[in-house]
């Protein structure tokens, strides 16, 4: 407590005071300290049994108690016990509503609560004041003043912890009973052929709390169908008795008011009419309600037998109209969780998944003996089919792989041939062209280099070219590939890289003729 600012110290002091005043943290701390001392003595080998030896250690040590409160979980135990007492006593107002001062206009802050089965000795008496007792079997009014007059937690952090504990305890106490209500709805809906989700969705929280005040809701293993049949039979008998009593009273009252003459002979010869027959009590009338259910044989002893209680059983408020927002949300959340099994998907996929989960469970390992050979046979057939399909699939994969390998080998051979041809043609191309641009790029092409020749070799072909036909010169001087390059003029200009296209080898004579034709062409143009 010596660390931090003064506001933190004051908040911590207020929290400790609230815990000391409203919870059993002092008792729990004393028990924890006694247990720790006993363990320490046992480990040290102390064998003294007299109370005088322990009297010197009975004094409270604040530091030790603080450490025990923080490390031993004593604080959480005390808060949980406080929330449990609040729920069992029937005061279902959440601490969050008390912190925010929430209330319902026109409704009281506290309403009385009833116990579903007070004759079983399951009533809660933890909220009694010191020296207060039930006395002479008289049932006290709940919730007790000690419960609903308790102060709100002083800090927000402590109030949040208390509210979480209240939600957890509320769920632990009310969820089993609400699950029993859902079980009743499911059984009765299956007997009537009605969708249970519709019936559960139409129930309000007021109706749910009303069902919580029924003692059968807090019992295990109740046959709700038998109870409904017995209840309907008793209701029919009660209605029939009420009708008979009304008819009998009306006939008596009508006969008492009738008078006859004193000396009339007719009154001496007549006899009074008999009272209405009660034979109908044994043979009830047929009605739309009685057609479906009375045909079921019912064992009243089995339906009325005592079942095990779901403990603990709390006091249930007579209404929930006074509960604020957070309190209503807490009860609604528990009811939704109880109704969750009704909304599970029932399609074939989910049904198979549930069946598989139940089959894999340890309780479903045993199977009927007559089904085992059939299952083994089907499994063998499935395994054989799967193996056959796998074999066919493997064969197809091998054929495809062989074809792919063959294609790759052929492509590699073609690439090798193209590379070899390209290597051989590179020398010829370099001998034909200098460094410069190509004709289709719109620039001047440099003349190819010619090998060194004698003067006679140069003059003689030139004279023959001048005297010969010009068409022969153009035919002989134009390489075969020049015609294909003319088609590329319409394409966009771009840099051309050497391609691995296979080219025809030309002899040295053709190269010389092409050089002479190029020179002669220039002279003619000049």
State the 10-residue block means of pLDDT for the chain, 526 residues long: 78 92 89 82 67 51 68 86 94 95 93 86 64 60 89 95 97 95 91 90 95 92 84 85 83 59 51 51 42 40 61 93 96 95 88 86 51 46 52 45 65 70 56 48 52 62 54 52 52 55 70 72 46
Do 439 and 387 lie in a common domain?
no
Do 513 and 439 lie in a common domain?
yes
Domain assignment present for 454: yes
pLDDT at 425: 55
Residue 363, C-beta contacts closer than 8 angstroms, at least 6 positions apart:
none
- Token output for 216: 């059968």
Do 419 and 438 lie in a common domain?
no
pLDDT at 239: 86
- Residue 181 near residue 320, CB atoms below 8 Å: no
- Residue 153 near residue 159, CB atoms below 8 Å: yes
| Chosen domain end from 397, 423, 449 | 423
pLDDT at 42: 85
Residue 345, C-beta contacts closer than 8 angstroms, at least 6 positions apart:
none
Do 469 and 507 lie in a common domain?
yes
| Chosen domain end from 399, 423, 447 | 423
Domain total in the chain: 2
pLDDT at 205: 95
For residue 210, give Cα distances in angstroms to 181, 214, 226.
11, 7, 21
Domain assignment present for 457: yes
Rg (CA), the chain: 53
pTM above 0.75, yes or no: no
Domain assignment present for 396: yes
End-to-end CA distance of the chain: give it in Å, rounded: 115
To 5 degrees, how large is the angle CA 55–CA 56–CA 60? 95
* Range(s) of the domain holding residue 506: 433-488+499-525
- Residue 23 near residue 82, CB atoms below 8 Å: yes
pLDDT at 443: 46
- Compute the distance between CA of residue 191 and CA of residue 86 in angstroms, rounded to an integer: 39
Give a three-class secondary structure readout of 458-470. Answer: HHHHHHHHHHCCH
pLDDT at 23: 92
pLDDT at 484: 54
Domain assignment present for 61: no
Do 411 and 444 lie in a common domain?
no
Do 449 and 506 lie in a common domain?
yes
- Compute the distance between CA of residue 338 and CA of residue 183 in angstroms, rounded to an integer: 10
pLDDT at 394: 44
pLDDT at 228: 81
């Amino acid at each position: 407590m010596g660390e931090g600012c003064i506001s933190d110290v004051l908040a911590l002091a207020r929290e400790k005071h609230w815990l000391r005043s409203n919870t059993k943290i002092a008792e729990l701390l004393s028990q924890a300290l006694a247990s720790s001392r006993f363990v320490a003595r046992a480990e040290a080998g102390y064998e003294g049994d007299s109370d005088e030896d322990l009297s010197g250690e009975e004094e409270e040590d604040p530091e030790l108690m603080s450490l025990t409160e923080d490390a031993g979980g004593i604080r959480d135990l005390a808060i949980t016990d406080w929330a449990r007492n609040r729920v069992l006593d029937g005061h279902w107002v959440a601490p969050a509503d008390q912190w925010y001062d929430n209330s319902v206009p026109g409704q009281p802050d506290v309403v009385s609560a009833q116990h579903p089965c007070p004759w079983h000795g399951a009533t809660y008496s933890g909220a009694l004041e010191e020296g207060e007792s039930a006395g002479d079997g008289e049932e006290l009014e709940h919730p007790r003043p000690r419960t609903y007059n308790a102060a709100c937690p002083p800090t927000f952090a402590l109030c949040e912890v208390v509210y979480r504990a209240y939600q957890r305890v509320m769920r632990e106490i009310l969820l089993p009973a609400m699950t029993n209500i859902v079980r009743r709805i499911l059984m009765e809906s299956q007997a009537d052929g009605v969708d249970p989700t519709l019936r559960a969705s139409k129930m309000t929280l007021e109706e749910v709390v009303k069902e919580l005040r029924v003692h059968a809701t807090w019992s295990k293993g109740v046959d709700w169908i038998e109870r409904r049949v017995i209840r309907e039979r008793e209701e029919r008998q009660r209605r029939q008795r009420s009708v008979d009593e009304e008819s009998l009273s009306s006939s008596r009252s009508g006969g008492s008011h009738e008078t006859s003459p004193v000396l009339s002979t007719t009154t001496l010869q007549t006899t009074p009419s008999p009272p209405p027959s009660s034979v109908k009590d044994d043979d009830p009338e047929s009605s739309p309600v009685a057609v479906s259910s009375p045909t079921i044989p019912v064992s009243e002893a089995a339906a009325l037998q005592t079942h095990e209680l779901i403990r603990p059983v709390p006091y249930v408020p007579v209404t929930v109209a006074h509960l604020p927002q957070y309190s209503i949300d807490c009860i609604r959340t528990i009811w939704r969780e109880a109704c969750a099994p009704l909304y599970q998907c029932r399609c074939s996929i989910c049904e198979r998944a549930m069946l598989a989960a139940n089959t894999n469970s340890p309780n479903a390992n045993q199977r009927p003996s007559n089904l085992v050979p059939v299952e083994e046979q089907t499994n063998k057939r499935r395994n054989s089919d799967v193996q056959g399909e796998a074999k066919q699939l493997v064969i197809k994969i091998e054929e495809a792989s062989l074809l792919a390998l063959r294609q790759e080998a052929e492509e590699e051979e073609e690439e090798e041939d193209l590379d070899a041809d390209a290597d051989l043609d590179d020398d010829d191309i370099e001998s034909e062209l200098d460094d410069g641009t190509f004709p289709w790029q719109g620039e001047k092409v440099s003349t190819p280099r010619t090998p060194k020749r004698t003067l006679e070799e140069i003059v003689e072909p030139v004279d023959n070219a001048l005297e010969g036909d010009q068409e022969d010169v153009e035919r002989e001087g134009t390489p075969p590939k020049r015609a294909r390059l003319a088609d590329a003029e319409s394409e966009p200009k771009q840099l051309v890289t050497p391609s691995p296209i296979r080219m025809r080898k030309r002899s040295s004579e053709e190269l010389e003729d092409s050089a002479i034709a190029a020179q002669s062409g220039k002279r003619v143009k000049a």
